[in-house]
Chains A and B, each alone.
Chain A
Amino acid sequence: MPAAAPRSGDAIFASVEHVTCSALQNAELFTLTYGAIVRQLLTDLEEVDEVNKQLDQMGYNIGIRLIDEFLAKANVSRCVDFKETAETIAKVGFKMFLGVTASVTNWDADGTCCSIVLEDNPLVDFVELPDTCQGLYYCNVLSGVIRGALEMVSMKTEITWTRDVLRGDDAYELQVKLLKLVPEEYPYKDDE
């Protein structure tokens, strides 16, 4: 058996995801591991903005793979519109991977922008932000995950945090905006 190569942060996080998605027996392990990753990123990158970007990128890399796991296990069929997509993420996706359900609110007139609100957030158990990290979006991995996952099913989105309990708000709220649909058409673009 060849020696395992050092694993990147998102490989560790992804394997932690696998652990948690079966049943949240290891919820605390998951929370603590995520916290350790954020701590390490803050030490390595120092700038809070850089950490936010890196968390989003990690989330993206996880999301592009997580979508297949979600589709394989959740047995959902193609969503008819973006409203159904948002509901599926909030009720089925969050439940499957974080063990909590979220709610969808604040739809705009053409149904392309909404808010996903999380009351409970297992990522932030035991977490407090020190004064030096006030610009940090601690849960930024989540916005990356959703963005990456939706991109793999032909939706380009923009996802931003509008409320964050660690920054003093009363809930976690993600604004999810559908930018455009990019259906695959033959001939498909080549892999790099």
Chain B
Amino acid sequence: MAAAAIYSLFIINKSGGLIYYKEYGSAGRMDTNDSLRVASLWHSMHAISQQLSPTVGCSGIELLEADAFDLHCFQSLTGTKFFVVCEPGTLHMDALLKVIYELYTDYMEMPIRCELFDLNLSQAVQKDRVALLGR
């Protein structure tokens, strides 16, 4: 069963440290150093965008649209950031990020951790499940 057009998922803590990284695209997994670098790059850009924003109370970049990809970012009130890199125009990514936040709180705290989180995450990103988020 194909995943929705998602290339990768990152979860970073409020200091910019990488908590979780998953590659879904066919380009293959980034090595650890690169993924850490990408995570802290995004963390910095996100923080700077809040300072640069002309609107008061801006909470940072939510959507970045580029030629080859879209990047959707969700920041919880506790400062943890969830961002997904996907095909341009992919729908329901905001809703998906909220679902991932819930899964994260359910599974990342228990000793079993990553395995269950991975399992539920791969179900959540399935094309047909993502499509349901639009209803």
Contacts and interface: CB of A to CB of B under 8 A. Distances in A.
B105 A68 contact: yes
A126 interface: no
Nearest to A79: B77
Contacts of B80: 68
A188 B16 contact: yes
A153 B110 CA distance: 22
B47 A72 contact: no
Contacts of A68: 76, 78, 80, 101, 104-105
Interface in A61-104: 65, 67-69, 71-73, 78
A71 B15 contact: no
Contacts of A15: 110-111
A188 B51 CA distance: 13
A18 B106 contact: yes
Counting chain A residues whose Cβ lies within 8 A of the other chain, the interface size class is 20 to 34
Interface stretch (A3-11, A27-35, A157-165): A3-11
A72 B80 CA distance: 12
Contacts of A78: 77
A4 B77 contact: no
A184 B101 CA distance: 20
> What 6 pairs between A and B have smallest CB-CB spacing?
A69-B105, A186-B47, A72-B102, A152-B78, A72-B105, A72-B101
Interface of B: 13-17, 44, 47-48, 50-51, 76-80, 98, 101-102, 104-106, 109-111
